[in-house]
Amino acid sequence: MAEATVRGVEVGLLDLLLVRADDVEGTAAFYRDVLGAVVHSVSPHWAQVRLANVDIGIHAPGGADGAGWVPGFRVHDIAAFRSHLEALGVEITQDYHDVPGGVKLGFRDAAGNVLAVYQYGVTVRDLR
C-alpha cells in the first residue's frame, strides 16, 4: 500500500469516493451503463460501484457529509489518526461510524471540504 506518513500517522490508498444522490439506484445505473462501472451493491439508500480501481459510494442525502464528492482514505489506526486531527485542531464532521467491514471518520480540510478515513476490520464498539 502506498502511504504517506506525517507525525507518525499513516494515510493509505484512496479507498472510496462518496457522492450524494437523490436517486441512488438510478445513479448506480448511470455509472454502470455510461461508464462501465461494476455494481457491488445497490439499495434505495446506498450503492457501491467500482470504476477505474476506485470504489464509489453513492449515498442518499443527509448526514454530516453534505453534498459533493467526499474522498476517503484507508488508515491502519483510526484512533491514532483522530488524535492527530484533534491535536491539530481539525474539525471532526462525523464521529466514528460503522460501515460495511470497518469504521469511518469524517473531517474538514482547511478549505472546508469534507474528507474521510476508513479502517477495516474494526467496529465502533472496538474503538470505545
Q: What is the pLDDT of residue 107?
A: 94
Q: What is the pLDDT of residue 110?
A: 82
Ranges of each domain in the chain: 1-18+63-128, 22-60
Domain 1-18+63-128 coded CATH 3.10.180.10: yes
Place of cell 453534498: 67
Nearest to 81 by CA among 7, 18, 14: 7
Q: What is the pLDDT of residue 8?
A: 78
**Whole-angstrom Cα distance, residue 54 to residue 9?**
23
pLDDT for 15 equals 83
So what's the pLDDT on residue 1? 46
Per-residue pLDDT of the chain (128 residues; tens, 9 = 90+): 467 777 778 888 888 899 989 999 999 999 999 899 999 999 999 999 999 888 999 988 875 555 678 999 999 999 999 999 999 999 999 999 999 899 999 999 988 889 999 999 999 999 98
What's the whole-model pTM score?
A: 0.81
Nearest Cα to Cα of residue 71 among 105, 8, 34, 114: 114
